[in-house]
Amino acid sequence: MSKQSKILFNIIMVLAIICLTVATVPKTLQEDTFYMVKVGEYICQNGMHVIDERIEPFAWVDGLIYTYPHWLLDVTFYQIHRVFDFMGIYIFTLLIGIITYILIYFTNLKVCKNHLISAIITLVAIFTLAGFIAARAQIITFLCLVLEILFIEKFLETGHKRWAIGLILDPILLANCHAALFPIYFVVFLPYIAEWVWAYIFNRKNYYEERCKRVEKKIEKFQYKIEKGGDKGALEAKISIQQSILKELKEKYKEAEEKQNVKDKFRNKDRKIIIERNKYLKWLIVIFVICIFTGLLTPIKDIPYTYMWKSIEGNTMDFISEHQPVVLINDYNLFIILAVIVIFIFSNKVKLKLSDLFMLMGMTVLSLISYKQFPIFFICAMCPVNKMITMWRDTRKLEKAQEKEYIVNLNKEELENTNYDEIAETLADSDVSEKKRKKNQTKNGLERAKKIINKIPSKILTVKGSIYIILITIIISLLGYRYIVGTDLIDKSNYPVAAADWMLENLDVKNIKLFNDFNYGSYLLYRGIPVFIDGRADVYDPVFNGRSDDSYLAYMLGSSLQLWYEDVFFTYNITHVITYVNSNLNQVMERGISYNMIYNDGTFVIYEINMQLLIDQGIIKVDDAQNQSQTADQTIEDTTEAATE
């Protein structure tokens, strides 16, 4: 492919990425966006000290703290919302998505040097990751991880300092925009470091080479001390000892080198796994250590280091659907990608670097642990998959070239020993001429398909072909965007827009204790209504706030009726309840005479609770409020222990 053709191909791909991103990224905002805007507003209006003090201003439950794990993105969202409202945040999300996909394309291109395969992988990314590109902190994580893969691969290839600087700056952005996934940044380093350690341990040549370098440095150090006027006799004795050690090591190195050369000559051709010890990997380990301390360059203190482990230790991940393990047969995107990986791994035309194998294995396990980790799996697996496909394609080409060369040589040998009189007689007697034989071969469907496929790149990279491709991309994008353009930024079937308006007009929201659902709590706090729970699960988890009372688990068990909901209402002195009309909780509450339905719009319903009437009717039997509260607390605590077990 000529330089002009490459530039034209890249321009077409960038335009295609822009069009397809706009056509596939959902317009409707998710629950995280609402609380992020409100948190950003709170930081801007009250100052950075709220982060240091970990103040939680939006929930009415006492004793809660908030760690502000993505404070910088919260502030960014608020500033965009203040000027451009939610449409501005949607456009910002599209821009980040477009930049991420463009980086995916050029990362694959830089690493594997194949335009067509890089383009295919990018198009697959656009359609499989579309649902994950949303106005949430994870979009910055995806961007940082793509940059990390690019920086690592280019640093190992060239050793240039600019890639090392990028690797050090990248985690600073991640720690301030999405501290929860800060440790994932270092997981990406591990396959490369593991390959280096493996090569060092099992390749004796490398081991002796390193030891020789250390001894030579010691000798240089002793010689320098002699020049500076040190004890010449003692230092020369030490130099003599080190020189004898060096001589012995060099002999062992030479012996190990000969053995390694034999192994490389006779075994590497048949090896499936390629083990390399890149000369820049030791500097990558230094960068890895430096990056560990970048988590301190943030006002949220130790949160980048502790957030993930506390989340795993707590119980919030047991209930949130996106944190649940993946059932492979139900996730066809992951199933197909894993199937492709397995096919290429077992292909006899593909060899795999040990670091790539470690990367694929580790990220596959991560993707199966949680559905939310699928984009991370895709980003980290894209370059190894690209390398395998490229190697398979190059091997096929090489085999075909060797086969043609063999046939040509064979024909030459046959011609030298041919009896031309016999050939003339054979041709004369044959009913099928050479011309007719070629015509029959051309009619072969498989051969024709191969010829068409081989002509595609050359056809695309003409002016006429480029115009056709751009027009087709625009048409496909418009067909996809017609389903998006009609949707609202705020889905009124999922978020209580009208109900929030009614509460603000008819209730003293600052003096009620509202029991709400997890899925739309973020929208309520965005509207200025204090909530019982919202999408910031860490706020309510005792592992984070240190409280003995687990209001998160109380909500989960009470709303699902696993725990008697009226005990929860009494424990927290709930005065009002908002829930979906079709929820299990509403099916029970609408039959109770102590719950006064004060609002119903067909999607959401609001109840006012007469707690005293519940006590008077004996529905809640208490000697006094303190004893009942303690009983409910103990019930929740027992249920927590049972759920943990």
Candidate from 23-37, 155-169, 284-298, 348-362 with smallest mean pLDDT: 348-362
| Planar angle of CA 211, 213, 214, nearest 5 degrees | 65
Whether 288 maps to a domain, the answer reads: yes
State both tokens at 368: 């199966």
Whether 410 maps to a domain, the answer reads: no
Based on the fold, state whether residues 190 and 98 are members of the same structural domain: no
Torsions phi, psi of 577, nearest 5? -130, 135
Whether 372 maps to a domain, the answer reads: no
Whether 589 maps to a domain, the answer reads: yes
The answer for residues whose C-beta is within 8 angstroms of residue 184's C-beta and 6 or more apart is 141, 145, 376
Based on the fold, state whether residues 32 and 167 are members of the same structural domain: no
Tokens 């490389």 belong to which residue? 264
Based on the fold, state whether residues 562 and 592 are members of the same structural domain: yes
Distance, in Å, from the CA atom of 277 to the CA atom of 199, rounded to the nearest integer, reads 6
Based on the fold, state whether residues 68 and 142 are members of the same structural domain: no
Average pLDDT over residues 328-356: 86
Question: The pTM is what?
Answer: 0.82
Residue 543's CATH number:
3.40.50
Based on the fold, state whether residues 259 and 301 are members of the same structural domain: no
Domain end, chosen from 454, 489, 524, is at 489
Based on the fold, state whether residues 171 and 184 are members of the same structural domain: yes
Average pLDDT over residues 516-524: 93
Q: What number of other Cβ atoms are within 10 A of residue 239's Cβ?
A: 19
Based on the fold, state whether residues 58 and 126 are members of the same structural domain: yes
For the chain, what is the domain count?
Answer: 4
- Full residue range of the structural domain in which residue 477 is found: 1-131+463-489
Over 60: is that where the pLDDT of 352 sits? yes
Based on the fold, state whether residues 110 and 141 are members of the same structural domain: no
Residue 425: what pLDDT? 54
Residue 562: what pLDDT? 75
- Name the packing angle between helices 445-460 and 463-485 (round to 10°): 90
Beta strands at 576-580 and 604-609: parallel, antiparallel or unpaired: antiparallel
Domain end, chosen from 227, 253, 274, is at 274
Based on the fold, state whether residues 168 and 300 are members of the same structural domain: yes
The partner residues of 361 in beta bridges, in order of sequence, read: none
Whether 611 maps to a domain, the answer reads: yes
Report, in this order, helix, strand and coil percent for the chain, each rounded to 5: 75, 5, 25
Over 90: is that where the pLDDT of 116 sits? no
Q: How far is CA 114 from the centre of its chain?
A: 23
Based on the fold, state whether residues 164 and 180 are members of the same structural domain: yes
Based on the fold, state whether residues 77 and 157 are members of the same structural domain: no
Candidate from 47-56, 360-369, 482-491 with smallest mean pLDDT: 482-491
Helix/strand/coil for 606: strand
Query: In this structure, which long-range contacts are made by residues 527-531, counting pairs with CB atoms below 8 Å and at least 24 apart in sequence?
Result: 527/500, 528/504, 529/500, 529/503, 529/504, 530/58, 530/59, 530/60, 531/58, 531/59, 531/60
Whether the CB-CB separation of 28 and 487 falls below 8 Å is answered with: yes
Based on the fold, state whether residues 637 and 502 are members of the same structural domain: yes
Residue 262: what pLDDT? 63
